[in-house]
Each structure stands twice: as structure tokens, then as C-alpha cells.
Structure 1
Amino acid sequence: MRSLFERLRTRRLTSTFVLLGTLSIAVVGGSFAAHGVRGQEKQNESTDATPLKVANSPVAPNEFVKIAKEVGPAVVNINTQTLPKQSMNRNNRNPHARNPHPQNPDGDNGGGGGDDDQDGQGNFQDFFNRFFGGQGPDQGGGDGEDGGGQVRESLGSGFIVDAKGYIITNNHVIDKADKIYVKLSTDPDSQDLGRPARVIGVDKATDLAVIKIEANTALPTVKLGNSDSTQVGDWVEAIGSPFALAQTVTAGIISAKNRTIEPGASGQFQHFIQTDAAINPGNSGGPLLNMNGEVIGVNTAIYTQSAGYQGIGFAMPANTVVEVYNDLISPSHKVVRGSIGIQFRPGLSGAVNRVYGFKNGVLVNSVQSGGPADKAGIKPGDIITTIDGRQIKDGDDLVNEIASRRPGSSIRLGFMRDGKPTDATVTIGDRDKVFSDMALQQANPTPEEGSNAGESKLGMVVRDAPQDMVAKIHHPGVVVQSVRAGSFADLTSLEPGLVIIRVNRQPTGNRDQFNAVVSKLKTGDDVVFEVVDPRRPNDGINYLGGTLQ
């Protein structure tokens, strides 16, 4: 009994000690927790922090600020609408898309013409993209078709040069537009597209255009500066509406001058100022300004692989802009340029210069029949060295000098023939007419030209296939010797070495047969070549074709 009582008391004491121990641990833990919370609260206290205040110290405005305030009101936002049209040709190409063979703005399809060069390939055109808003997926395409039956809208910039409402912009901003609207910086910021504008004149060769809006009061204008006096490294400022963000100001420097971004005929009158001022889609047509607030260029193009700013932009120099503008507001509303009707190839190797005995000048490649140079006795192989006694440095120098002369005026042309200096008086022709006549001659060759029909119509030179080749391929034909880049033959995938045995099912067993068939072809005809590759005669006959343009 006693033993049982002692055991119960022992258990009771044990339970009591366990309970007391548990309570002690809880008390100690709670104390530590409370201490931690109070420590954390103390750590997050911010009573010693000083409130911030906005400084009210005035900052002297720099030149960029002054220019933006002074010129900004004269910079406008241009909106265009192109209405849906019934497409006549579903294979039309986008006139604003990347194009390795850009269309010659003067209509000379890949050749020279009025004192032109013949290198119109535009090898860098994949990177030099004309730009303005509205070419993204939300604005529809730019291929000249109906775009799914929807109105195509585009954006660009421009600037007022006459208080009566005359505005300079890029031709590609308003090209093919059915409706043009201009929004001033002072117009309400609403969904309204702006004031209607009309086209005064355009010049595709320089990608410039003049439009006009009606105004009841005098409008703010800009001043045109002397772009020839600018220097590489000068500060510049650009104002425009990139991505429809009106009155956007960016700054940079002149990176280079006299940049030609489209080699050949397409870029003959486009010698740009290069700048690193940020230029993006929508800036096109806006001003590039010097530190006097004067326009020294019209923002026109960018070098990009991402369709956005990459630090390389191009502006048409103001001196060129002034000349073009004055022609476009004249009664004729067009730029008239001179031409003498020759073709030449730029960038000849030093070996050519040494063999033909000249350092500076232009080697004439061809002369338009009946053109100004032809009438004056100029012949292929002549080396033009001077105009009115002034030495000609290169093809660009020649083109600029001739183009600046008025049609009907005369020049004294100095040239070398067979190593002997001579000269002739040449009457300047109208460049547009000279090119038109040349195109007509190419489309309708004379009987003499018919003997080289493959070259004049198709852009390739052929010769009779030798007998051993005929025996190898079991077909008589003509061998393609050379193909002019960008020509119909080139676009049809003909290449040197292939043997043409038939054209449109008609045998071309020799050069005479080939020329007889080709001379009858005309624009719009479907042309199919039956060709054999003598390197792989077992592949049989291949059929290459296209529509002659």
C-alpha cells in the first residue's frame, strides 16, 4: 500500500516537472520572439530620413532647346491615305520594299542614258530602306494592290518654307497617295488627320516633293542654310514624327558628306549628308538643322537591318533642296535637267586608265543615236576630259555639270580620241526627252540593231555553238557568252555557258536564226527558252521563261 502511494506521488512529481519545463521553454521562446520583433521594428524606423524636395535652380537653355522652340512650330506631321484599287497585275512589286535592283527614277532601265553610268545594280539596297510610318503590319502593305480592300495610311514629316503654306517633304512620303493631310504643331491633338494638302510638284531623282495647304494667317517658316559649308563633326538636330510621335527632337553630328547610297543611275542626284542623329520611320521629310537653326538637309533614308534606328541616317543637302524647290514652284512644276545622250561605266580600273592614257575624265561606252553627243560627233571610246575648259574629274562630276545646264544651251566638250586631244560643240538636250528617245530606240531596234537583238532586248550576248559541243548535246544552238545583271535574261536565270536551242518553239541553231526570232519579240510577249547545259547533257532540255518587260 505504501509502495503504491509512493509510486503515485513520484508520477505526480514527474508530471509537474514536465509541465513546468514546458512552460519555461515557452516563456523563454516568447521572450526571444518578442525581442526579435522589437528589434525588427527598430531596424525599419525611418524617423531620421529627410524628405526630398524639387530643386528650383534655373538651368540655362542650350542651343538645342532654343532651336526646338524656334523651329518646332514650322515642322509638320503628314498623313496620307491610299484608297483601294483594282489591281491589274498581282505580281507588282512593292515600290518601297527592299529591292536589289532599284528602279531608275529617271526611267532609264538599268542603263546609262543622259550622261549616265551603267552600274545600276544597287548592291546595298537591301540595307538602305526608304522609310515612313504605315509600312507595318497594322497599316497594310505598300505593293500597290488593294491591300484587302482597305484604305492604306502612312505617316511622314515635312517643314513649312513659305508662310503661304508651301511645305517640303520627301516624294516617297506622298507618292501614290489619294489624300494628303498636314497637321501643324498648333493644331488640336485629336483624331483629326489635319488640313488637306495638294501636290505642287515632285522630283523622283532627288526624292523631294512640294505640297501646299491653305491658311488664313501667315504660317511659321524655317530658314534654309548652306549645306556646302557644313563640316564632318558639326552638331545637328532632327525634328519629326517618328512612329507618329509628333515634334520629336533628336541630336547628333554630321558623320560624313557626299554619301551615295544607291550606286548607278538611281543615285546620280542623291548625294547625302550622313548623320547619327536618331532617325526612325516617320522622320522622313523632316528637317536636319545646324546650330543656327537653319535646315541643312531633308531626312530621307536610314541604313538599317532592323527597320529602326542604328545610328546611320541620310539627309538630302539643303543646297540641292533649294534648286529643286525653285524648279517645282515654277510654272512647269518640274525639274529640268540637261543631257547629251551618252553612257559610261564608272569605277574603271587603273589598268584601263593607263592603257587609254588618262587620269581624269570619262570613257564613253555608248552614244545614243541621233542624240546631242551623236550630232556633235562624239563616239564610243572617246574620253571626255573638259567642259568649257574646266577639267572633269569623274562621272559624277560630268553628270552634275551637264544636268545643271539648260536644254538648248551649248557647251564646248574637250575629249581624247586615239590619244589625241580634240573638242566639239554640243547642244544640251532635255534629259527626260533624251531618256524617252533612248527607251523608244531600245523597244524598237533598227535593222542594224536587230543583228544584236539578244543584247538590246534580252541583255545577253550569244555566239554559235562549236561543232564539238553540238555533237555532245545532240542539238545545234547558240551559247550564252555574257548576261547583263538585272536584264530579262538575268531575271530568267540564263547564265553563260548554257546553249539555247529554241526560243518560243522556233529553232535557234545559229546566231542569225536566234537574232531573227528575238528581233520579232515585243514588250508583253511571253518568252520561253529551251536550253541545254553542255556540262550536264544527260539532264536533257530545260525550259526557262518569262514575260518581256
Structure 2
Amino acid sequence: MRRALLMLLLLALPMAGQTQIVDENGNTPSLAPLVEEVSPAVVNIATSGTVEAESNPLLNDPFFRRFFDAPEQPRQREVQSLGSGVVVNADQGYVLTNHHVIAQADEITVAFNDGRELSAEIVGSDPETDIAVLQIDAEELTALPMADSDSLRVGDYTMAIGNPFGLDHTVTTGVVSGLDRTLPGNNGARLQSFIQTDASINPGNSGGALINLRGELVGINTAILSRSGGNIGIGFAVPMNMARQVMDQIIEYGEVRRGILGVRVQDLTAEMAEAFDIDRNDGALISQVTPNSPAAEAGLQAGDIVIEVNGTSIPDANAMANAIGLLRIGDAVSMTYVRDGETQTTTATVADPQSGEVSADALHPGLAGATFSELDERSPLFGQVEGVLVTDVAQGSRAAEYLQPGDVITSVNREAVDSMAAFRAQVEGSERLLLNVRRNNGAFFVLIR
């Protein structure tokens, strides 16, 4: 074995006086043919838009501005963004990119390596996975075939193509450094199972192609881990299998219709496993089950440890969130779990989150325009507090004066509410309402008469 390895190394080294490594036909090894083949499918994306400008409250006061002769602040400011994208369907003109590349865009221009610049329309986007689908009207497009990203292994060669810092069609190479990575705070994406690569990814690469040596698309370049903002060899891409599932729903519905199961899970640590008296430390520990949810109807309870979903092993809470978060409304999900040391199996049906919503118009006139539901995994506060979730608020309504979608009502008239039934019992028949509202990391009271 050692002798064979030594011979391979000797054959790979140039002879004395040679400056190139060549094959038996005299050809120099190069990735140039592959780059030439795939580059027409990778595009530059330039966006422009307007956002609400942050303002100083003092400068909004007419007396203050007049006294100090200060100019009135602009209410909006223009924003621009540069990123990359990949043509994945030449016939329909579909282009994949990142949600954060086009999130604030009013106008989108897609530029090809042949010099063409075309306007693009947003088909839809999904902040949860940071994936967006654009569409362009053009002929003679080249699309990249999509690979099965589940077959990737650490050590596989990869190539990243994009437009870092606005430099068109830059190519970098490397290997898969890791799989199933999470990156806290990545542009708000909550479903994460990133491919980690050391192929250089820099600002402007977002939305570009990560390909294998067959010229197949294995991921959409999304983020980097860096203290300086530049590449240090730790880049991340959304796996193609995840991106494809999101893309299919966006093309079909214009959005991702994500269902709910009604559970909050956490990692099963070695200490937790010991406390639960089980001989394993992999799985997703259920910490909360929403009343009347699919999980509750399937018999799941807090303390159950999910170890398998639809035949796929669940090593941790993130894997559980990804497995459920990519299912469609109405899909059946088989789950294997451990309870009191015994392995059991159950089946639940992923529910439409809107099916359990209740309009507040009939509950109390002061809540007119708001819609409520059980607190579930749609809210980042799920598992941290008990209450009911504000899912929608009509613009210009009475409720819009003090409530926003995503708020959680934790008490009514100083009585805690942990379900829609408790909320209804406190609201109906009350002349006035004293609501305790959780919003993001803050809380406040609202008095409604």
C-alpha cells in the first residue's frame, strides 16, 4: 500500500526541468472546461429599492426644527444590493437566489456573462430558508442540473461561482468542510442545514452556485463566518434538496405554505438523557405541546424524545425543525419516539395554521380587526411564554392601534391565559380589557375600553 501511494506521488510530480503537470496526451489538468460550461447559468443580481428611514424624534418636532433651523428629515432612503443567482429552469426562466438579496427590492436587474441585462420579477421568497425565486423572460438560457445534496460527503470537491464585491463570475474551489451546519442569526433564517465549504465566499456571492465536479448544483451560497467581513475559509450554502422543496412551493403557490405540528423541541444533552433515565443522547426532546394541535391529537407529550421522522434519524432539535418545516400542509408524518424507556410510533397530519385561527370581531369590539390562534412554532416566543398568538391585524382597524402580528397575549384582566379557550373565557362579556402583551423581547400592558 505504501509503495503504491509513493508511486502515485512520484507520477504526480513534474520531472526535472518541467514546469507543468501533464497527462499521457500532453494535456494540462484544468477546471476551465467545467467553468466554461456552467458560467452561463450563473448571473449577477443588482437590486434597488426604498425603505423607511430611521429618524430622530427631536428632528420630527416642528418647534425643534424651527428653533435650531434644522432641515426636515427624509422619510425614505434608497437602498441598493448586489448578489448572485443561478438559472435552474431555462424554459420558464426561473432563477434561484437568496431572500436577503432581493428582500427590499423594487427593481431587479439580472446580468449574464454574455453581456445581457434583463429585468426580473419576484415569484416569491421564503425568509425561513433564505431562498427566493425570480423569473426572467429570455431565450437561449442555460440552466444548471440539480444534484442530490443528501449524497454529499465531507471532502467532496466543490466550486463556488458568483460575483463577490461586484467582480463578475469569480470562481473559487475547495471541498465540503462540514454538513448539517447551523448559523445563528443568519438573515433571520430559522430552518438551517447548511453545507460548509472552504471554497471562498465573499459579500456578493450570496445566491450564487455551489457545484460539484459534474457541473451539478449542490447548493446556493448564502453566508460566511467572519470577523472582518471577508472570507476566512468558512462559507455556507443552502443544500439543493432543501432549496428545491422551497422552490417547488414558491412556483406553485407564490409562497411556502408551511404547516404546523404543535411542538417545541430542544436538544437532548447527556445530562438530560441521564435525568430521563435513557441510554442515548441523540434525539429531539419535546418541551411543549400546543393544545388541540396535530401533535396533541397524535398523543405526543412533553418529555417524549423523537428519534425518527418519516424514516430519517433525528439527532437533534434542529434536524426535527427542518424535517417538519419542509413538509406541506396535509402531509402525514410518522414519528418514532421514546417515552419512559419504551420506543413507540405515532402518525400526525401537518395542519394548516389558519385552520385554528379565530377572528376577534365577535369576541370584543375593542379587538376588532385582529385574528388569534394557539401559540405554536410560528412564534419565536413558543416555549418561552404561555399565551395566544396574534396572527393578523387589519390595517386601520381598532386592534391596529395597539397590536401587531406576532404579538403574544399572556394575560387578560390580570388572569393568565394559556390557550384560546382561556382567552375566550376572559374576553367575552368583559366591558374593558387589560392585556399583557409580549412583543419581541419586551412586554407592556394595554387598556381597552
- TM-score under structure 2 normalisation? 0.67
Aligned to 2:125: 202
1:53-68 matches, within 5 Å, as 60=27, 62-68=29-35
Question: In structure 1, which of residues 255, 270, 285 is the aligned counterpart of residue 207 of structure 2?
Answer: 285
Are 1:84 and 1:147, in contact at CA under 8 Å, matched by a contact in 2? no
Higher helix share: 1
Aligned to 2:423: none
1:75 aligns with 2:42: yes
1:230 aligns with 2:148: no
Change (3 A) 1:75 1:408: closer
1:349-498 matches, within 5 Å, as 349-358=269-278, 359=280, 360-385=282-307, 387=309, 392-411=314-333, 413-418=335-340, 424-430=346-352, 437-438=374-375, 441-442=388-389, 443-445=408-410, 450-451=415-416
1:335-346 matches, within 5 Å, as 335-346=256-267
Which AA in structure 2 matches 1:202? S
Are 2:334 and 2:348, in contact at CA under 8 Å, matched by a contact in 1? yes
Are 1:75 and 1:159, in contact at CA under 8 Å, matched by a contact in 2? yes
Which AA in structure 1 matches 2:257? V
Question: In structure 2, which of residues 216, 219, 237 is the aligned counterpart of residue 315 of structure 1?
Answer: 237
Aligned to 1:497: none
Which AA in structure 2 matches 1:168? L
- Deviations along 1:282-323, one digit per CA (max 9) or x if unpaired, are 111110111111111111000111111111111111222222
Which AA in structure 2 matches 1:357? D
Aligned to 2:103: 175
Aligned-pair Cα RMSD in Å: 3.8
1:155-174 matches, within 5 Å, as 155-163=82-90, 164-174=92-102
Change (3 A) 1:272 1:376: closer
Q: Counterparts of 2:157 and 2:311 in 1: how far apart (Å)?
A: 38
Any idea what SS the aligned residue of 1:160 has? strand
Percent of matched pairs sharing the same residue: 35
Q: CA deviation at 1:381?
A: 2.8
Q: Counterparts of 1:196 and 1:225 in 2: how far apart (Å)?
A: 28
Change (3 A) 1:208 1:409: closer
- Deviations along 1:515-543, one digit per CA (max 9) or x if unpaired, are xxx96333689x9xxxxxxxxxxxxxxxx
Q: Counterparts of 2:56 and 2:225 in 1: how far apart (Å)?
A: 31
Aligned to 1:247: 169
Any idea what SS the aligned residue of 2:255 has? coil
Any idea what SS the aligned residue of 2:85 has? strand
Q: Counterparts of 2:352 and 2:414 in 1: how far apart (Å)?
A: 24
Which AA in structure 1 matches 2:178? A
- TM-score under structure 1 normalisation? 0.56
Aligned to 1:530: none
Q: CA deviation at 1:214?
A: 1.2
Which AA in structure 2 matches 1:304? S
* Length, aligned pairs only: 348
Change (3 A) 1:274 1:391: closer
Any idea what SS the aligned residue of 1:186 has? coil
Q: CA deviation at 1:246?
A: 0.6
The higher-RCO structure (CA 8 Å, 6+ apart) is 1
Q: CA deviation at 1:366?
A: 1.3
Any idea what SS the aligned residue of 1:297 has? strand
Any idea what SS the aligned residue of 2:221 has? strand
Structure with bigger gyration radius: 1
- Deviations along 1:167-193, one digit per CA (max 9) or x if unpaired, are 1111110012111111111126xxxxx
Q: CA deviation at 1:211?
A: 0.2
Any idea what SS the aligned residue of 1:522 has? strand
Which AA in structure 2 matches 1:336? R
Aligned to 1:543: none
Aligned to 1:151: 78
- Deviations along 1:304-352, one digit per CA (max 9) or x if unpaired, are 111111111111112222222222211x122234432011222x43232
Unaligned runs of 5+ in 2: 1-21, 58-72, 358-372, 380-386, 390-407, 419-432
Change (3 A) 1:408 1:254: closer
Are 1:336 and 1:431, in contact at CA under 8 Å, matched by a contact in 2? no
Q: Counterparts of 2:140 and 2:207 in 1: how far apart (Å)?
A: 22
Q: Counterparts of 1:389 and 1:296 in 2: how far apart (Å)?
A: 23
Are 1:64 and 1:237, in contact at CA under 8 Å, matched by a contact in 2? no
Which AA in structure 1 matches 2:435? K
Any idea what SS the aligned residue of 1:231 has? coil
Q: Which piece of structure 1 moves more, 373-382 or 425-434?
A: 425-434
Q: Counterparts of 2:274 and 2:264 in 1: how far apart (Å)?
A: 21
Any idea what SS the aligned residue of 1:429 has? coil
